[in-house]
Every structure is written in C-alpha cells, then in structure tokens.
Amino acid sequence: MKNIVLFGPPGAGKGTQAEVLKQKYQLVHISTGDVFRYNIKNETELGTLAKSYMDKGHLVPDEVTINMLNAEVEKNTDANGFIFDGFPRTAAQAEALAVLMEEKKSQINAMVALEVDDEILVGRLLERGKSSGRADDANEAVIRERIAEYYRKTDILKEFYQNQDKYFGVDGVGSIEDITERLSAVIDQL
C-alpha cells in the first residue's frame, strides 16, 4: 500500500497530477475540500458538526477532520493506497494522520511536493482565472497572499516529513507528462 501526501502551492498542478496518479497507481484520491463539501451537502453527522464551526467562522477541529478522513479510508478498505490532498496542514494534523494510518496497519510513505517558482504560479493562476470564474484566481495580490500562506503553513510539514526521510520535492514545471514522470520516479521507489 502506498500512501502519499501530495502538496504544492496554488497553481502547482496538484489536482491534475492527483488525477493522473490515481489512475496510474490505482490509488484513492482524498481531497479534504471534497470530503468537507460531501459531508456538509449530505448533512452527515460530521458534516453538520463541521458546518456548525464554519458558520461561526471557526476552524473545524482536527478531530472532526480526521474522523471524516477515517470514514473515507474505511469506504476504501481494498485500496492500493491513498493520495491525501489538502491534509495535513499542521504538525498536529500530520501526527493524527500517522496515528490513523497506524490503526489501519499502514503508514504515510511520502510527502511529495510540487515545486514551482512563484512568478510561474502567479501567471498560471491569472491565466486560469480567465476561465475558472474563481475570484481568487483573478486578483494578483490575493494570489500572492495565497502562495505566501502556503509556504507559511507547509514549512513545518516539510520539516516534519524530512525528519522521517519522507519528504520529496519534485520540479512542477514542464508538460503534464514530464511532471508525472518525475512524480512516478519518486513513487516507484517507495
């Protein structure tokens, strides 16, 4: 079983690569954002609980998020592994994810981060903003803040996984195929 935490700043191509890797390695892609939306839309017990925090402008507690992820893992007990996208975001969440995977007699094998120069990211997001309809992709100042926030949050995680020899930075510039090839080189050695 291969379990990967996929990281990258906004515009790095995580969504595109997660889809390709999911198919190539028969992995289950768990996007925290998608899991939240599903649970809230379907008014699950966890979704209702999460929404109660969000409606007050509070962050959803890690325990609630982990319970949602656990439910997704449980739905896919026969999976070859998982791609975690958007989680963990803090060292405490990384620890909680490690405990969850341990309970499943598994582990996180690697944190793979797509690395892309900030100016390229800004250009990609501004271009995407022309067709995505996302306001946060149309404003350069907002884009730069999103990128800065990503680095503020992930530096801790980079160190967390580096200390376990599980951090792999991958050049996220080039064709989709070239980037997939680089990611595959890392995944194949796990």
pLDDT tens, residue by residue, 5-40: 999 999 999 989 999 999 999 999 999 888 998 999
- Catalytic, 182? Answer no
Whole-number pLDDT of residue 86: 84
At a CB cut-off of 8 Å and minimum separation 6, what does 31 contact? Answer: 15, 18, 85, 86
CA distance 170 to 92: 24
- Catalytic, 14? Answer yes
- 29 annotated binding-site participant: no
What is the total count of domains within the chain? 1
Mean pLDDT, residues 97-120 taken together: 96
Whole-number pLDDT of residue 149: 87
- In 3D space, the residue among 151, 143, 145 whose CA is nearest the CA of residue 127 turns out to be 143
- Catalytic, 128? Answer yes
- Catalytic, 152? Answer no
Domain residues for the domain of 23 are: 2-188
CA distance 17 to 146: 20
Q: What is the mean pLDDT of the chain?
A: 93
- In 3D space, the residue among 88, 58, 97 whose CA is nearest the CA of residue 156 turns out to be 88
- 166 annotated binding-site participant: no
Amino acid at 142: V
The active-site residue, picked from 24, 41, 75, 134, is 134
- Catalytic, 134? Answer yes
The pairs formed by 154-158 with CB atoms below 8 angstroms and a separation of 24 or more are 154/7, 154/89, 154/113, 156/90, 156/91, 157/5, 157/7, 157/88, 157/89, 157/90, 157/91, 157/94, 157/111, 158/111, 158/113
The active-site residue, picked from 22, 128, 144, 158, is 128
- 77 annotated binding-site participant: no
The whole model's pTM is what?
Answer: 0.87
Which CATH number characterizes residue 92's domain?
3.40.50.300
